[in-house]
Amino acid sequence: MMRFLRSCFVIARRDFAATVLSKAFIFFLLGPLFPLLLGGVFGGIGARVAARTDKPVVAVIAPHADFERLNAARAQLAEAVGDDTLVRLIGYSPEPDLAVQEKRLLASSEPPIRAVLSGGLAEPHLTGSLAGDPATAGQINLLVNNARSGEAERIAEVAVTDAPATSGTLAKDRAVTGQIGQVLLFFLTLMLSTMVLSQLIEEKSNKIIEVIAAAVPIDAMFVGKLFAMLSASILGLVVWISSGALLIQFIKHGGVATLPMPAVGWPAFLALAVTYFGLNYLLFGAAFLMIGAQASTAREVQTLSMPVTFAQVLIFGLASTAIGSADSAEAIGAAIFPLSSPLVMLARAAERAEIWPHLLAILWQAAWVALILRMGSQLFRKTVLKSGPRLPWWKFGRA
Amino acid sequence: MLRQVQHEPEVANFAVEAVDLVKDFAETRAVDGVNLAVPSGSIYGLLGPNGAGKTTTLRILIGIIDPSSGVRRVLGRERPLDAAREVGYLPEERGLYPAMHARDAIAFMGALRGLPLAEGRRRADALLAEHNLGDWAKKPIRTLSKGMAQTVQLLGTIIHKPRLIVLDEPFAGLDAINQARLEELIRREARAGATIIFSTHVIAHAERLCERVAIIAKGKVAFDGGVDEARSKLRPIVRLRTRASGGPWLAAIPPGARREGDEYVFELPEGGPEPFLKALIDGGAGIETLAIERPGLHDAFVAIAGNAAAAEMGQDKPQ
């Protein structure tokens, strides 16, 4: 056993040093910046486009006084539900030929008009392509009614006392924390599994694998490789978490203390995040290494790893159903299913304060990791060097 | 044939033994009942044409792959990996991490065999300096020439001072100078007490280095024994040039003789040189030149492994 562990250590030390001391590791550390940057850029562009195109514009052909009352009713409503959710109103004085004016306005591209309201407040009539947009007609109805009755000016002001956090806001914030944790865990695992796979392919093509296989048990190579990448990624996690905390400390008023506290508290949450990350990575990394053992080219790897990647996405979908309903049957089922368990339990750590379910889950997941590592290393040994007698599938795991 | 089975690794007479090794890959039988016994401290050559099963046999012996059936014993242990710390292996297809420094690559190969990394680096520096590669110790492998990289891998194979060194086609890809250096290194390791097994399809190396050889053809061992024993399987070769072109002396020439230019070339007749010479002289041959040559390992290989195998080997002449 000691010799096996020593062999694992030799492989892991080489792989860890080769990974961490390479230029590619700098890009790996910068990796999480790119999705944030892209998210920010495309999110901003999307929001601008949405603001330009999504808010319907209604042309109001009415006397000036009627338009002013409609606009006042709109302003009042905007205070309650927000300006972005309401139609935009543009006033036009009535022309002698109303039909021609309506037709011209509906064809206008600057601004693009969704509908035309004519007849003033006395006999309002809305013309436009509104079959698929009941909200615009509904809002115009409400605005006309408010403008007619003059209720807009008589709305009572409710006195408001601001409280820092309520159960409602805390639940929402914790759900967001759980969701962010799941997304990070999912993407990191995906990225690292692919990295360990490409390293294996490099070794197979370099023929180094034969030198290693002649010196140490192939199972030790399998386990050593997995733990090397795990160590490198935990180093990455520490760097990212520290950098993130520093960034928040500098740019957010009140610093990290203002972040919504996960239900188990920050220290326990971070420790659980690292543990669940490790277990999740070992489960999927083992699967990817098994794939790498069967493939000899990058193309074969892509073909073989596609179903596993799809399965990962499905499992991520399953795990995300647990957010916001940690005690539901779906959430408990997903927590028991070993491949989704780490993701689900991380979200639970953000939302529920009990620690004991995590101890159970870690033991459960560790048992599965041990089983999959054992199966993985056996299959790896059989396929990476085409070694050993063939076994029928029902005897797999007993070799 | 398993000649002697020792249960104590320290007193084993054979560094490597194999009994009825068989290896099947799908429908192909790559190794077909191989029996070997490699005496401790010897230089042992595994000869055979490409595809004869040499590499598969070596990979089975050192535990990279398991046989489909049969038994192997390496330094007295039935699981070759149990002896891994005392074995050095140079695969046919060389492989090193391109970004690794030469000394680290050697030290890493030592670490795989249980040598502490710091000690491995110290020994690597000394070995590299000894092989005129001291200036390259801290350079990445990718900057080394092919010959240099091969030397680095060879040094990594012996860094941990193994008792058994297994080299698969070690001379392939080396120029004549480096081949001579490698031969000297093999002799030196053998003088230091190591057992060396190497495969080759260039017989000249085996002839210069080996005390014993196994000739493998089509997955089977066609011969296993001393080099002299292999040679003794053939009769001496006679090269004869005469002044007379015809006459009674022609009756003394064996039926299988062939003409090479002006010379007759044939195996010395069974009766030995005296009656043969008498028949030539009495028959009026007018002997111009006559040479009786001891057959080489190449001739023995041709006889043992067959003409088809020899033709394949002839494509790769020794340098």
For testing the chain A interface, which of B23, B112, B117, B138 should be mutated: the one with the most A CBs within 10 Å?
A: B112
Give the whole-angstrom CA distance, residue B96 versus residue B43.
26
pLDDT greater at residue A159 or residue B149: B149
Last residue of some domain: A154, A183, A217? Answer: A154
Say what the pLDDT of residue A358 is: 92
pLDDT greater at residue A206 or residue B254: B254
Locate B247 and state its tokens. 């006459």
- Based on the domain organization, do A186 and A313 belong to the same domain? yes
- Based on the domain organization, do A358 and A218 belong to the same domain? yes
Tell me the mean pLDDT in the region A365-382: 80
Q: Check: CB of residue B79 under 8 Å from CB of residue B96.
A: no
Q: From residue B318, how far is each of A395, B174, B308 by CA, in Å?
A: 49, 11, 19
What kind and span of H or E run contains B45?
strand B43-47
- Residues paired with residue B71 on neighbouring β-strands, in sequence order: B19
- Based on the domain organization, do A276 and A177 belong to the same domain? yes
Q: From residue A31, how far is each of A22, A191, A192, B34 by CA, in Å?
A: 15, 10, 11, 54
- Read off φ and ψ for residue B114, nearest 5 degrees: 95, 5
Q: Check: CB of residue A211 under 8 Å from CB of residue B112.
A: yes
Say what the pLDDT of residue B155 is: 93
pLDDT tens-digit profile, chain B (319 residues): 444 444 444 445 889 999 999 998 877 888 888 999 999 999 999 988 878 888 899 999 998 888 889 999 999 898 888 898 999 999 887 788 888 999 999 999 999 999 999 999 999 999 999 888 989 999 999 899 888 888 899 999 999 999 999 999 888 888 888 888 889 999 999 999 999 999 987 788 888 888 888 988 888 888 888 877 777 777 888 899 999 888 888 888 888 888 888 899 888 888 888 888 999 999 888 899 999 888 777 777 777 776 545 555 554 444 4
Helix axes A23-30, A2-20, angle to 10 degrees: 80
Give the whole-angstrom CA distance, residue B183 versus residue B204.
11
Q: Distance from CA of residue B106 to its chain's centroid?
A: 24
Q: Do B89 and A215 touch (CB under 8 A)?
A: yes
- Based on the domain organization, do A208 and A295 belong to the same domain? yes
- Based on the domain organization, do A246 and A178 belong to the same domain? yes
Residue with tokens 């104590």: B8
Tell me the mean pLDDT in the region A266-293: 83
Q: Where do runs of H (alpha helix) occur along B67-159?
A: 102-112, 117-130, 146-158
- Based on the domain organization, do A244 and A330 belong to the same domain? yes
Q: Whose CA is closest to B87, among B9, B174, B184?
A: B9
- Based on the domain organization, do A276 and A382 belong to the same domain? yes
Smallest CA–CA separation between A389 and chain B, in Å?
A: 6
- CATH code for the domain of A65: 3.40.190
- Provide CATH code, domain B9-226: 3.40.50.300
Residue A25 near chain B (CB below 8 Å) = no
Q: Do B91 and A214 touch (CB under 8 A)?
A: yes
Say what the pLDDT of residue A230 is: 84
Give the whole-angstrom CA distance, residue A244 versus residue A240.
6
Give the whole-angstrom CA distance, residue B207 versus residue B227.
7
For testing the chain A interface, which of B108, B117, B150 should be mutated: the one with the most A CBs within 10 Å?
A: B108
User: Residue A212 is nearest to which of B93, B100, B112, comparing CB atoms?
Assistant: B112
Tell me the domain boundaries of chain B.
9-226, 237-294
Q: Check: CB of residue A189 under 8 Å from CB of residue A284.
A: yes
In tens, the pLDDT along A54-86 reads 678 888 988 888 888 888 888 888 888 888 788
- Does residue A196 lie in a domain region? yes
Cα-only R_g, chain A = 30
Question: In sequence order, which residues have a C-beta less than 8 Å from that of residue B33 and are 6 or more positions away?
Answer: B20, B21, B22, B70, B219, B220
Give the whole-angstrom CA distance, residue B111 versus residue B209.
29
- Does residue A31 lie in a domain region? no
The amino acid present at A68, given as its one-letter code, is E
Q: Whose CA is closest to A386, among B264, B86, B84, B64?
A: B64
Give the whole-angstrom CA distance, residue A275 versus residue A332.
19
- Does residue A373 lie in a domain region? yes
Q: Do A18 and B99 touch (CB under 8 A)?
A: yes
pLDDT greater at residue A31 or residue B308: A31
Helix axes A167-206, A218-251, angle to 10 degrees: 140
Tell me the mean pLDDT in the region A241-252: 79
pLDDT greater at residue A154 or residue B64: B64
Neighbours of A109 (CB within 10 A): 6
Q: Check: CB of residue B167 under 8 Å from CB of residue B197.
A: yes
- Based on the domain organization, do A195 and A237 belong to the same domain? yes
Give the whole-angstrom CA distance, residue A380 versus residue A153.
76
- Does residue A195 lie in a domain region? yes
- Does residue A25 lie in a domain region? no
Task: Quote the domain boundaries for residue A220.
Answer: 170-395
Q: Which of residues 201-230 of A touch B (CB under 8 A)?
A: 203, 206-217
Give the total number of structural domains in chain A: 2
List the B69-74 sheet strands across, edge first: B28-39, B14-25, B69-74
Give the whole-angstrom CA distance, residue B205 versus residue B197.
12
Say what the pLDDT of residue B128 is: 94
- Based on the domain organization, do A341 and A234 belong to the same domain? yes
Q: Check: CB of residue A339 under 8 Å from CB of residue A315.
A: yes
Report ipTM (2 d.p.): 0.77
Last residue of some domain: A129, A154, A179? Answer: A154
Whether the predicted model's global pTM rises above the 0.90 cut: no
Give the whole-angstrom CA distance, residue B46 versus residue B203.
10
- Based on the domain organization, do A136 and A269 belong to the same domain? no
Last residue of some domain: A154, A182, A197? Answer: A154
Residue B270 near chain A (CB below 8 Å) = no
Q: Are strands B220-226 and B263-267 parallel, antiparallel or unpaired?
A: unpaired
For testing the chain B interface, which of A6, A23, A199, A208 should be mutated: the one with the most B CBs within 10 Å?
A: A208
Give the whole-angstrom CA distance, residue B265 versus residue B287.
14
Locate A46 and state its tokens. 């999307």
- Based on the domain organization, do A239 and A100 belong to the same domain? no
Locate A44 and state its tokens. 């901003």
Residue A150 near chain B (CB below 8 Å) = no
Decide: helix, strand or coil at residue A185: helix
Neighbours of A287 (CB within 10 A): 20
- Based on the domain organization, do A98 and A178 belong to the same domain? no
Q: Check: CB of residue A225 under 8 Å from CB of residue A15.
A: yes
